[in-house]
Amino acid sequence: MKIRAWGGVSALNAIISGYGSTMAVSMPVDVTVEYSDKTEIIAADNQIIEEIMRLLGVTRYRVSVESHIPIGMGLKSSSAVSSAVALALISMVEGKYDVDMAVNVSAKASKNLKISVTGAYDDAYASLLGGIILTSNKEGRLITRIDAPNGLDAFIGIPGNLKKVVNVESLRSLESLGIELKGLIEGGKWAQAMTINGLLVASANGYDPSPAIEAVREGAIAAGISGNGPAYFCLVKHGTGAPKSFRNLKVIKSVPKNSGYEIL
């Protein structure tokens, strides 16, 4: 069995208030799961897959991962892998594709391994359902999912020498603002929330906000820092091209992804 899931960019960092929002983008992860005489894992990081298999109580599967999402950049690579692996294994054991169960297993594994502070429910749901996801990570539930508008390009900007910073205390001090951003997303103003969230994350984690700010000044619909960085991103009208403010970054072109997981 082969399943494709998706990376994403943040509209609301879940550490801030316990509410998280992610937009899926067309950066794929392909997971292949097969019956085997022994457990075999072929991936950049075996640990998360081993934990998922432990939680599900399964062995003797061959799991291989091919990812096109830059690792450790805040682009939801871990959630895409773990949720796709969980979905594939559940389907082989239970005979059905249970997205909610896969997300819950992915979240538990990521928290057990301290990969995620909140369980990254928004990232996992976005990777499997596509679109723009809003979750309560405190309660482990999906609040809403909406389609991203058509006609947009997503540009990801990868800095060459910047390391990820996660200042949990500083982010949580912004809780009231995070709740306000949740309200914006529920009211359909996800682009505004996405940009404000990026500025909050830049401030809390000490990143330079200028690539995102300048992208908006150049006409981007939204721009920010994804996850806890260090990747920047922006959304622009199709055909506009990458903003000049991304010129010193490694740029990856993508598009918002509304369709969910694929069985290949």
pLDDT digits (tens, 9 = 90+) for 199-251: 999 999 999 999 999 999 999 999 999 999 999 999 999 999 999 999 999 99
pLDDT digits (tens, 9 = 90+) for 128-157: 999 999 999 999 999 999 999 999 999 999
* pTM of this structure: 0.96
pLDDT at site 45: 87
3-state helix, strand, coil in the chain (%, to 5): 40, 30, 35
Are 195 and 224 within 8 A, CB to CB?
yes
Structural domains of the chain, ranges and CATH numbers in brackets: 2-147+259-263 (3.30.230.10), 152-254 (3.30.70.890)
Are 233 and 224 within 8 A, CB to CB?
yes
